[in-house]
Amino acid sequence: MPTRLTSAFFQRPDPLQIARDLLGKHLYTHIDGVLTAGRVVETEAYRHEGDHSLTLHLQRKRQQAQGLHVPGGHAYIYTVYNRHALFNIATHDAAHPDAVLIRAIEPTVGIEAMLRRRGLNEVKRALTAGPGVLTQALGITPALTGLLVTGDVLWFEDHGEVVAPADIVASARVGLEYAGAEAAGLPWRFRVKDSKWTSPAK
Protein backbone atom coordinates (compact mmCIF):
# COMPACT_ATOMS: atom_id res chain seq x y z
CA MET A 1 0.00 0.00 0.00
CA PRO A 2 1.62 3.30 -1.05
CA THR A 3 2.22 5.82 1.72
CA ARG A 4 2.92 9.53 1.43
CA LEU A 5 6.24 10.87 2.65
CA THR A 6 5.85 13.24 5.58
CA SER A 7 7.77 16.39 6.44
CA ALA A 8 9.89 14.35 8.85
CA PHE A 9 11.46 12.58 5.86
CA PHE A 10 12.80 15.90 4.57
CA GLN A 11 13.71 17.38 7.95
CA ARG A 12 16.52 14.91 8.59
CA PRO A 13 19.94 16.60 8.79
CA ASP A 14 21.76 14.86 5.92
CA PRO A 15 20.70 15.97 2.39
CA LEU A 16 22.90 13.27 0.84
CA GLN A 17 20.93 10.56 2.61
CA ILE A 18 17.65 12.19 1.63
CA ALA A 19 18.79 12.39 -2.00
CA ARG A 20 19.62 8.67 -1.97
CA ASP A 21 16.42 7.73 -0.17
CA LEU A 22 14.28 9.59 -2.74
CA LEU A 23 15.43 7.21 -5.47
CA GLY A 24 12.57 4.80 -6.18
CA LYS A 25 9.99 7.08 -4.58
CA HIS A 26 7.17 8.47 -6.72
CA LEU A 27 6.67 12.20 -7.29
CA TYR A 28 3.07 13.31 -7.91
CA THR A 29 1.59 16.59 -9.09
CA HIS A 30 -2.07 17.59 -9.25
CA ILE A 31 -2.15 20.81 -11.25
CA ASP A 32 -5.08 22.33 -13.12
CA GLY A 33 -7.05 19.18 -12.42
CA VAL A 34 -4.42 16.95 -14.05
CA LEU A 35 -2.70 14.15 -12.12
CA THR A 36 0.82 13.20 -13.20
CA ALA A 37 3.55 11.18 -11.56
CA GLY A 38 6.90 9.53 -12.04
CA ARG A 39 9.39 7.32 -10.25
CA VAL A 40 12.43 9.28 -9.10
CA VAL A 41 15.60 7.92 -10.73
CA GLU A 42 18.07 10.77 -10.30
CA THR A 43 18.75 13.39 -7.63
CA GLU A 44 21.46 15.81 -6.51
CA ALA A 45 22.26 16.90 -2.96
CA TYR A 46 23.26 20.42 -1.93
CA ARG A 47 24.63 21.19 1.52
CA HIS A 48 25.31 24.68 2.84
CA GLU A 49 28.46 23.47 4.63
CA GLY A 50 31.40 22.45 2.47
CA ASP A 51 29.59 23.08 -0.83
CA HIS A 52 30.77 26.25 -2.55
CA SER A 53 28.13 25.92 -5.26
CA LEU A 54 25.34 26.38 -2.72
CA THR A 55 27.25 29.14 -0.95
CA LEU A 56 27.44 31.05 -4.23
CA HIS A 57 23.77 30.41 -4.95
CA LEU A 58 22.78 31.78 -1.56
CA GLN A 59 24.86 34.89 -2.22
CA ARG A 60 23.80 35.49 -5.82
CA LYS A 61 20.10 34.85 -5.29
CA ARG A 62 19.95 36.23 -1.77
CA GLN A 63 16.29 37.25 -1.82
CA GLN A 64 15.04 34.24 -3.75
CA ALA A 65 17.18 31.87 -1.69
CA GLN A 66 15.22 32.79 1.42
CA GLY A 67 13.04 29.94 0.14
CA LEU A 68 15.70 27.58 1.51
CA HIS A 69 15.59 29.06 5.02
CA VAL A 70 12.48 27.08 5.90
CA PRO A 71 11.73 23.77 7.60
CA GLY A 72 12.47 20.83 5.35
CA GLY A 73 9.69 19.73 3.05
CA HIS A 74 9.01 22.93 1.11
CA ALA A 75 9.41 23.31 -2.65
CA TYR A 76 12.17 25.61 -3.89
CA ILE A 77 11.89 26.21 -7.63
CA TYR A 78 13.90 28.65 -9.69
CA THR A 79 14.60 29.22 -13.37
CA VAL A 80 17.93 28.89 -15.18
CA TYR A 81 18.73 30.20 -18.67
CA ASN A 82 15.38 32.03 -18.48
CA ARG A 83 13.54 28.88 -19.44
CA HIS A 84 14.22 25.79 -17.31
CA ALA A 85 12.51 25.50 -13.92
CA LEU A 86 14.46 23.38 -11.43
CA PHE A 87 12.52 21.58 -8.69
CA ASN A 88 14.35 21.41 -5.37
CA ILE A 89 13.13 20.44 -1.92
CA ALA A 90 14.41 22.34 1.09
CA THR A 91 15.72 19.91 3.68
CA HIS A 92 16.79 19.96 7.35
CA ASP A 93 15.56 23.16 9.03
CA ALA A 94 15.40 26.93 8.58
CA ALA A 95 18.90 27.40 10.00
CA HIS A 96 20.43 24.93 7.53
CA PRO A 97 19.58 25.90 3.91
CA ASP A 98 20.20 22.47 2.39
CA ALA A 99 18.35 21.05 -0.61
CA VAL A 100 17.80 18.12 -2.93
CA LEU A 101 17.26 18.64 -6.66
CA ILE A 102 15.09 16.17 -8.55
CA ARG A 103 16.97 15.56 -11.82
CA ALA A 104 15.00 12.81 -13.57
CA ILE A 105 11.93 10.62 -13.26
CA GLU A 106 10.49 7.60 -15.02
CA PRO A 107 6.97 8.63 -16.11
CA THR A 108 4.17 6.50 -14.65
CA VAL A 109 0.88 8.45 -14.43
CA GLY A 110 -0.70 11.01 -16.76
CA ILE A 111 1.73 10.33 -19.59
CA GLU A 112 -0.57 11.81 -22.25
CA ALA A 113 -0.68 15.07 -20.32
CA MET A 114 3.10 15.02 -19.99
CA LEU A 115 3.48 14.57 -23.74
CA ARG A 116 1.20 17.55 -24.40
CA ARG A 117 3.10 19.75 -21.98
CA ARG A 118 6.40 18.76 -23.59
CA GLY A 119 5.13 18.99 -27.16
CA LEU A 120 6.14 15.41 -27.90
CA ASN A 121 4.34 12.77 -29.94
CA GLU A 122 5.81 9.67 -28.34
CA VAL A 123 7.19 8.47 -25.05
CA LYS A 124 10.95 8.72 -25.06
CA ARG A 125 13.80 9.61 -22.76
CA ALA A 126 13.53 13.32 -23.54
CA LEU A 127 10.12 13.39 -21.85
CA THR A 128 11.41 13.50 -18.27
CA ALA A 129 15.16 12.73 -18.30
CA GLY A 130 16.48 16.02 -17.01
CA PRO A 131 15.58 18.59 -14.36
CA GLY A 132 14.26 21.19 -16.80
CA VAL A 133 12.10 18.81 -18.81
CA LEU A 134 10.60 16.87 -15.89
CA THR A 135 9.22 20.08 -14.40
CA GLN A 136 7.63 20.97 -17.72
CA ALA A 137 6.12 17.48 -17.99
CA LEU A 138 4.76 17.63 -14.45
CA GLY A 139 3.51 21.23 -14.70
CA ILE A 140 5.89 22.48 -12.00
CA THR A 141 6.71 26.20 -12.16
CA PRO A 142 8.42 28.71 -9.84
CA ALA A 143 4.94 29.81 -8.75
CA LEU A 144 4.85 26.66 -6.60
CA THR A 145 7.88 27.72 -4.54
CA GLY A 146 7.06 27.57 -0.85
CA LEU A 147 4.44 24.85 -1.16
CA LEU A 148 4.80 21.83 1.05
CA VAL A 149 5.77 18.72 -0.89
CA THR A 150 3.44 16.78 1.38
CA GLY A 151 0.22 18.45 0.24
CA ASP A 152 -2.35 17.95 -2.49
CA VAL A 153 -0.46 19.72 -5.29
CA LEU A 154 3.01 18.23 -4.84
CA TRP A 155 3.77 15.05 -2.94
CA PHE A 156 5.93 11.94 -2.85
CA GLU A 157 4.81 8.38 -2.27
CA ASP A 158 6.69 5.34 -1.03
CA HIS A 159 5.58 2.31 -3.03
CA GLY A 160 7.72 -0.10 -1.05
CA GLU A 161 10.80 0.02 -3.27
CA VAL A 162 14.22 0.33 -1.65
CA VAL A 163 17.06 0.93 -4.10
CA ALA A 164 20.07 -1.03 -2.87
CA PRO A 165 23.36 0.87 -2.44
CA ALA A 166 24.89 -1.32 -5.15
CA ASP A 167 22.24 -0.05 -7.57
CA ILE A 168 22.99 3.64 -6.92
CA VAL A 169 25.56 5.39 -9.09
CA ALA A 170 27.22 8.37 -7.37
CA SER A 171 29.00 10.93 -9.54
CA ALA A 172 29.80 14.62 -9.85
CA ARG A 173 26.90 17.02 -10.13
CA VAL A 174 26.14 18.81 -13.39
CA GLY A 175 27.07 22.33 -14.49
CA LEU A 176 28.92 23.47 -11.38
CA GLU A 177 32.30 24.30 -12.89
CA TYR A 178 31.77 27.96 -11.92
CA ALA A 179 31.96 26.94 -8.25
CA GLY A 180 35.48 25.57 -8.51
CA ALA A 181 36.95 22.10 -8.88
CA GLU A 182 36.28 20.97 -5.32
CA ALA A 183 32.55 21.70 -5.39
CA ALA A 184 32.15 20.54 -8.98
CA GLY A 185 33.82 17.23 -8.16
CA LEU A 186 31.73 16.29 -5.13
CA PRO A 187 30.01 12.94 -5.91
CA TRP A 188 26.59 14.14 -4.83
CA ARG A 189 24.61 13.19 -7.94
CA PHE A 190 22.76 9.92 -7.46
CA ARG A 191 21.24 7.77 -10.20
CA VAL A 192 19.46 4.44 -10.34
CA LYS A 193 21.87 2.11 -12.08
CA ASP A 194 20.85 1.07 -15.62
CA SER A 195 17.75 3.30 -15.68
CA LYS A 196 17.14 4.62 -19.19
CA TRP A 197 15.37 7.62 -17.70
CA THR A 198 18.36 9.32 -16.07
CA SER A 199 19.74 12.47 -17.64
CA PRO A 200 22.85 12.30 -19.83
CA ALA A 201 26.08 11.41 -18.05
CA LYS A 202 28.65 14.21 -17.91
What digits encode the pLDDT tens for the residues 34-49? 999 999 999 999 998 8
pLDDT in tens, 128-148: 999 999 999 999 999 999 999
Q: Which domains does the chain have, with CATH numbers?
A: 3-192 (3.10.300.10)
The mean pLDDT value for 152-171 works out to 97
Would you say 32 and 93 are in contact if contact means Cβ atoms under 8 Å apart? no
| 115, 47 contact by CB (below 8 A) | no
Q: Euclidean distance between the first and final Cα of the chain, in Å?
A: 37
86: helix, strand or coil: strand
pLDDT tens across 45-69, in order? Answer: 999 887 767 766 666 666 666 778 8
For the whole model, what pTM was predicted? 0.94
